[in-house]
Structure 1
Amino acid sequence: MHGSSRNRTTPTTPTTPTTPTTPAGPSRRSLLRSSAGAALGVTALAGVTGPAQSAAAAPRAITGTKIRNLTGPAETGRFAAPWTDLGIPVRCPDGTLLHVCGDTFDGDGVGGPDWRSPVGLRSSGSDLDGGLVIDGSVGGEHAVGLVPEGHEGGTTAIPSDVFTIGDTMYMHLMRGVIYQTHHSDFWRSTDNGETWEYLCQWPGDALGGQFQQKTYAVADDGWCYVLSTVFNRDTVSGLLLHRVRHEQVGDPAAYEPWGHDGDWAWGNPPTTVTGARRWGEICLRAMGGRYAFTYLHHQPDEISIRAQIFDLPTSDLFRTPEQTLILPTVPGSEDGNRVANPYGGWVYPGAAFDNFHIAVSQWYDDQNYRVMQYRIDGLEV
C-alpha cells in the first residue's frame, strides 16, 4: 500500500517528547557489554513496519549482501588502525572517498594503544559494486587524529556526519565523555580532508540535548537540511529538523527550525518530526530527487538499522513506512543482512535506491570491531 502513494508534505501533529536527560557516562567496556548483550537477546523483525506497527499489505522483502570488511588488522592494520568503527563515507572534491572513523586503536584489540578519534581512511576507487578498498589514510602510513583530542579524562571526538559542498568538506563532531556530550563542534577542509579548520560549536544542552547528533542533507535548492537527536542510546529523544543555507553552515545563528505551533512552518520553535525514541546513529541524504534517512533503531527488543524514503525534507515521518535494512543476530549466524551487534548505516556517495550501499559498523568483543560495506536490495521507493 505504501509503495503506491507518496508521503504527505504536512506532518501529523506531534505529541511532546520526553525532555532528555544525560545520565552518568558508562565506560567503553560497560558499553560493549550492554550493547552486545542487547544484540544477543533480541528477536529479529523483518520487512517494512509503520511507526505505529499497523497492519498493511505484505511488503517486498528486503535483502542484503556483505560486500567486504573495510577495516580490520588485515585491511587497515598497515595504517596503525586495525581497530576502528563508524567509517562515515564522503566523496572528496578530488573524487576519492574518505571514511571518517571514530575511536581507533593500534595493538591487539579494542582499547589498545594509540587511541585516536576521528581518523580518515581513504579509498582511491569509488566503484561500489566492485567493493571498496582502503588504500590510504590521512597521515600516510600512520593514520593521525584529524583534530586535536587528547582524551583527557576519557573524552573523545565522535563524528556524526561528514559532507562536501563544492570544494569544501565539513565535519560535525560530538565532544566529551561518550554519552555525556559537553558540546558539538564543526570543522571544514579545503584540501580533501588532509587538514581541518575549526568553525563553530554548540553547547551540549542546546534544545534539551536534541541538537547533539546532527546529519546533513545537501540539497540542490541551496539549503542543507539537518536532522538532530540526543547522542545517547539510553535516552529517549525527539528528532528535530533545521535548515541552513550552504554558505552559512558554519554560522549557528543561521540554522532555522521546523516546528508545529498551530501549524507546521519554518521558524516555529523546533518540534519533533517523528515519534520520540532511543536513537543511535543517523544519516540523511538527498538522492535521486528524494531523501533517504537511515538510522540505528536502538530499542530494548531490537537493535536494527532502518530507513525511511520520502519526497521532501518536511514530509510526514510519523506516517512514512520504516524499512528494516540490517537485522540483528548472534555471532556465528550472520548471513545476508543479518549482523551481530550492528550500528552506523551511513549511505555511500554514488548509491541509488536500486543499488543502495551503506557503511555498517560492528562491535561485540575486542577482536570484532570494524567497518563493513553492505549492499541492500528491495527498498520500497
Structure 2
Amino acid sequence: MNPSRRALLRTGAGAALAAAGLAAGAPAATADGSRAALVTGGRVRNLTGPAETGRFAAPWTDLGIPARCPDGSMLFVCGDTFDGGGVGGPDWRSPVGLRSSNASPGALAIDGSVGGAHAVGLVPEGHAGGTTAIPSDVFTVGSTMYMHLMRGVIYRTHHSDFWRSDDNGETWQYLCQWPGDQYGGQFQQKTYAVADDGYCYVLSTAFNRDITSGLLLHRVPQNALGDPAAYQPWGYAGGAWGWGNPPTTITGARRWGEICFRAMGGKYAFTWLNMAPLDIRAQVFALPTSNLFTTPEQTMILPTVPGLEVGNAVASPYGGFIVPGSTFADFHIAVSQWFDNQNYRVMQYRINGLAA
C-alpha cells in the first residue's frame, strides 16, 4: 500500500529559501527577530537505505528515534517501513527497531534489528483501514526502555499509547493510553526529558503538520510513567505559572512537526520540525519551566531541492531527534528525508555552533 495519506513536505519552501540565499547555514532566530551566531552542519552518514538496512528487509524507513539501550547499544525506532522497490512496497511495518552495536555518535552503523534478518513490527499493528503506529519518542530510565506511539490514520490520531521493554527493546509490554482529543488534541505527540530530580518532563503537541497547536508541558515521576493520572500539567492561572494548573501553551502556537526534548549537559535541549517556515530548530534552556517565548530559536537544518543539498541544507527534511551521547559542542541529530518513493531514509547530521 502506498502511504499517500501522509502529507509530503513540499520542496517549494526549500526552493524559496535557497533563492533567498539561505542554503548553507542560518543564524539563530530570537524572539524579537534579531540574529545570533551562525549555526552550520553537515551529513555524517546515511543510517538507513537499501545499502545500509536492506539486509534487514527495511530498505525504506524513516524517523529513526535514537535511544541508548541498557546494554550500551543504540536502538533506532523507525516509522512506516517497507521492503521491495520503494515506499509503498510490500511488508508494511511500523514501528520497527534497528540497532547499532556501537553507540558512539561518531561510529553509528546499523548492524542488527529487532527480529534478526527481518525487522519485525515492535507492537501489533495490522494497518487495517490505513491505520499505523507512529513513534514520537523512545527513551531509557535505568534498565527499562519506554516508547510512545500515535495510533490511527495518519494525522487523525485516535489515541496514543505507551509501552515498556525490559530486554533492550526486543519485546514490548503495553502500559496505558490517552484519547486523541485530550487537551484539544495537544497531548497526541509527546517527548520526554529524563531529569536527575526523579521526574520526566513531557512536551506535547497535536500530531498534524497542517494545524496550529500549542506546546504543553507536564511532569511525571519516573516510577509512575505508565499512570496517566500521575502526569501533572504546567499552566498559567490566577496571574502565575504553576504545576497543577490547567495546561497552557508554553510558547507561541504554530504548526509543529516532530519534536524531541532531552536533558543534557546540565541544561535542556528541545528540537523540532518547524513548518512555517520549513526548517529544523533547537532551543537550549536552563529549566523545563524556562520561558520559551523569549529563548532564542536556532535553525539547524534548512530545506532545499534535490541536487542542491550541501552543508545543513536538506531536501524535504523532517525529524531532527537528538542522538544520545551528543554534547552541545558535538551535537548530532537523526534527520529524515522523503521526496520520492526511493528517497526515503534516516540520516545523521552533526550541528556546529549551537549556542548553549
DSSP-derived class of the 1:344 partner: strand
Q: In structure 1, which of residues 230, 242, 252 is the aligned counterpart of residue 228 of structure 2?
A: 252
1:228: how far off?
Answer: 0.1
Map of 1:366 onto structure 2: 341
Amino acid paired to 2:159:
H
1:101 aligns to 2:75 (yes or no): no
- Structure 1 residues 104 and 183: CA distance shift in structure 2, 3 A: same
What is the identity, as a one-letter code, of the residue corresponding to 2:84? G
Correspondence 1:184 to 2:160: yes
Report the AA paired with residue 196 of structure 1. W
Paired residues of 2:5 and 2:154 also in contact (CA < 8 A): no
**Offset of residue 28 of structure 1:** 3.2
In the TM superposition, residue 181 of structure 1 has moved relative to its aligned partner by 0.1
**Is the CA contact (8 Å cut-off) linking 1:303 and 1:341 kept in structure 2?**
no
What are the Cα deviations for residues 44-68 of structure 1, in whole angstroms up to 9, with x where unaligned? 5521112342x3xx52211102110
CA distance in 2, matches of 1:294, 1:82: 26
Q: Distance in 2 between matches of 1:80 and 1:189?
A: 23
Q: TM-score, normalised by structure 2?
A: 0.96
Amino acid in structure 1 at the alignment position of 2:129: G
User: Structure 1: which amino acid aligns with 2:16?
Assistant: V
Q: Encode CA deviations 1:5-63: one digit per residue, 9 max, x unaligned.
A: xxxxxxxxxxxxxxxxxxxxxx832645x52344444325521112342x3xx522111
Partner of 2:122 in structure 1?
Answer: 146
Q: What is the CA distance between 1:229 and its match in structure 2?
A: 0.1
Q: Is the 8 A contact 2:64 2:78 kept in 1?
A: yes
Partner Cα separation in structure 1 for residue 123 and residue 66 of structure 2:
18
Check whether the contact 1:39–1:340 (CA below 8 A) recurs between aligned residues. Answer: no
1:41 and 1:278 mapped to 2: Cα distance? 20
Match of residue 354 from structure 1: 329
Query: What residue identity is the alignment partner of 1:128?
Result: P
In the alignment, which residue of structure 1 is the partner of 2:182? 206
Identify if the C-alpha distance between structure 1 residues 286 and 105 changes in structure 2 by more than 3 Å, giving closer, same or farther: same
Asked whether the 8 Å contact 1:38–1:303 carries over to 2, the reply is no
Q: Is the 8 A contact 2:280 2:299 kept in 1?
A: yes
Structure 1 residue 338 displacement after superposition = 0.6
Q: 2:136 aligns with which of 157, 160, 168?
A: 160
Q: Cα deviations across residues 341-380 of structure 1 (Å, max 9, x unaligned)? A: 1000110111000000000000000010000011001011
Residues 286-326 of structure 1, C-alpha deviation per residue, up to 9 Å, x if partnerless? 00000000000011xx2110000000000000000000000
Q: 1:229 aligns with which of 202, 205, 218?
A: 205
User: Mind listing any 5+ residue stretches in structure 1 that lack a counterpart?
Assistant: 1-26
292, 298, 305: which one aligns with 2:280:
305
Aligned partners of 2:36, 2:31: CA distance in 1, in Å?
A: 15
Question: AA paired with 1:255?
Answer: Y
On the 8 A contact 2:30/2:36 being kept in 1, the answer is no
1:49 and 2:29 are equivalent in the alignment: yes
Q: 1:36 touches 1:363 (CA, 8 Å); kept in 2?
A: no
Distance 2:4 2:27 in 1: 33
Q: Percent identity?
A: 72
Q: Is the 8 A contact 1:39 1:330 kept in 2?
A: no
Q: Give 1:190 deviation, angstroms.
A: 0.1
SS of 2:229's partner is: helix
What is the distance in 2 between the residues matched to 1:247 and 1:288? 23
Aligned pair count reads 348
User: How far apart in 2 are the matches of 1:42 and 1:140?
Assistant: 43
Q: 1:134-183 CA distances to partner (integer Å, 9 max, x unpaired)?
A: 00000000000000000000000000000000000000000000000000
* In structure 2, C-alpha distance between the alignment counterparts of 1:101 and 1:38, rounded to whole Å: 26
Q: How do residues 331-346 of structure 1 correspond to structure 2 at under 5 angstroms?
A: 331-346=306-321
Q: What is the CA RMSD across the aligned residues, in angstroms? A: 1.2
Tell me if structure 1 keeps the 8 A contact 2:205–2:216.
Answer: yes
